[in-house]
Amino acid sequence: ELCDRVAVMYAGEVVEQGAVRDIFHNPAHPYTRALLECDPGRIKKSTRTLPTIPGEVPSLLGSKKGCIFRARCPQAFSRCVQENPVEYRIGVDQVARCHLLDEVRLVSA
């Protein structure tokens, strides 16, 4: 209700951005999905414990090689350690930086 676009940041880097509706209905980056899973409004079962994202936020000092979210990502693979992900277009107005999106594109081609 307050904005049309959103940028999702992790450790100082934009990992996904696009129209609010697109991000909330079709999150493409694993961090965006994990954040939404922690939203109390989306939890179906009554619980006293909120879900969290396992692991710790990385140090912002040192190497910028590889995906910044890789240590906490359940889908990380070797490419995530070696290469910084580039932006992949998800839709008309949505982009995300994740090697999985390139892998999906390779499989569908």
Instruction: Give the predicted TM-score (pTM) of the model.
Output: 0.86
CB 38 within 8 A of CB 51: yes
105 has pLDDT over 90: no
The per-residue pLDDT for 104 is 63
Residue appearing with tokens 């179906």 = 44
pLDDT tens digits, 86-99: 999 998 899 999 99
With b meaning 16 or more CB within 10 Å and e meaning fewer, what string describes 1-18? eeeeebebebeebebbbb
Q: Is the pLDDT of residue 79 over 50?
A: yes
Q: pLDDT (tens digit, 9 = 90+) per residue, 17-50?
A: 999 999 999 999 999 999 998 887 777 777 777 8
Residues 6 or more apart whose CB falls under 8 angstroms from that of 21 comprise: none
- Cβ proximity of 90 and 101 under 8 Å: yes
| Cβ atoms of residues 104 and 27 within 8 Å | no
